[in-house]
Amino acid sequence: MKKYLAGGFVLLMIIGAATGGGSKKTSGGTASDSGTATQSQKASNAAGSKASASGSSAVSLADKPKTCGIKATDDCTPHVGRSHKVRVDALVWNVKSVRVAKTLGDTTYGLGEKADGEFVVVKLGVTSKRDESATLTDDVMHLNIGDKTYSADSDGTIAAMGAGQQPFWFEDIGPDSHTTGTVVFDVPKSKLGHKMEMKFTELGFGSTKGYIRLPSLAV
């Protein structure tokens, strides 16, 4: 009887050891799986963050305004700063100076002109890249203030001529030649502090145009 009890006791110990070993193995396997899952989650989060940052960067680049250079074409309307040039219809324009005046010429003897508002007097330079001579008029030059467009003032132009200035009034320019001239605009005094741009269009009836920003003006 003791023999059988001893054998049974040994058998129970063997079964207990086997059962305990299996539990430890299972527990160890669960911890390993948990660690692997955590590492995978971290990698996934990092990849998501990187993709999100990349996407934000792409959107930022897409939203960044693009310039199309200085040459006016059907697909490009240049808007450049005061010190830059624009090319419209193979004529390259630049702004040399800008000033404001209440009168032009000598009004004492009726040879001058008084502005209704204020004269904006713009001195321009132009170089021709055309293959043939062209006749320049102030019809291709306008002053933009906000959403308003002002044409050259003929009375101011005549007064500028009387004051010894050379306006763009039927001025001929040959290929590869350069000339300077003055254009005069009569604008309300209240507009002088607003954003201004010179607008240049094609000779004739073309639709391309370019703009040069002017400095802020004050009386």
Q: Are residues 100 and 37 in the same domain?
A: no
pLDDT at 42: 52
Q: Is the CB of residue 176 less than 8 Å from the CB of residue 161?
A: no
Q: Are residues 51 and 144 in the same domain?
A: no
Give dist(CA 198, CA 124) in Å, integer.
10
Q: 180-218, pLDDT tens digit by residue?
A: 999 999 999 999 989 999 999 999 888 999 999 998 887
Q: Are residues 114 and 176 in the same domain?
A: yes
Q: 34-77, pLDDT tens digit by residue?
A: 444 455 555 455 544 544 444 444 434 444 445 688 999 999 99
Specify if 71 maps to a domain: no
Share of the chain above pLDDT 70, in %: 68
36-74 in b/e burial notation, b at 16+ Cβ within 10 A? eeeeeeeeeeeeeeeeeeeeeeeeeeeeeeeeeebebee
- pTM (two decimals): 0.68
Domain termination residue (choose one: 10, 31, 64):
64
Give dist(CA 28, CA 33) in Å, integer.
9
Domain termination residue (choose one: 40, 64, 88):
64
What is the span of the domain harbouring residue 170? 79-214
pLDDT at 192: 92
Specify if 73 maps to a domain: no
Q: Are residues 128 and 202 in the same domain?
A: yes
Specify if 134 maps to a domain: yes
DSSP state letters, 8-23: HHHHHHHHHHHHHHHH
- How many structural domains is the chain composed of? 2
CATH number at residue 208: 2.60.40.1240
Q: 106-164, pLDDT tens digit by residue?
A: 877 677 899 999 999 999 999 999 999 999 988 999 999 999 999 999 999 888 887 77
pLDDT at 45: 53
Specify if 52 maps to a domain: yes
pLDDT at 91: 96
pLDDT at 23: 42
Specify if 159 maps to a domain: yes
Q: Are residues 59 and 90 in the same domain?
A: no
Q: Are residues 60 and 87 in the same domain?
A: no
Specify if 69 maps to a domain: no
Specify if 74 maps to a domain: no
Q: Are residues 98 and 14 in the same domain?
A: no
DSSP state letters, 91-155: EEEEEEEEEEEEEES-GGGT-SEEEEEEEEEEEEEEEE-SSS-EEEEGGGEEEEETTEEEEPPHH
Specify if 168 maps to a domain: yes
Q: Are residues 84 and 46 in the same domain?
A: no
Q: Are residues 39 and 129 in the same domain?
A: no
Domain termination residue (choose one: 64, 88, 116):
64
CB count in 10 Å sphere of residue 207: 9
Q: Are residues 88 and 190 in the same domain?
A: yes
Q: In the predicted model, what is the mean pLDDT of residues 88-95?
A: 96
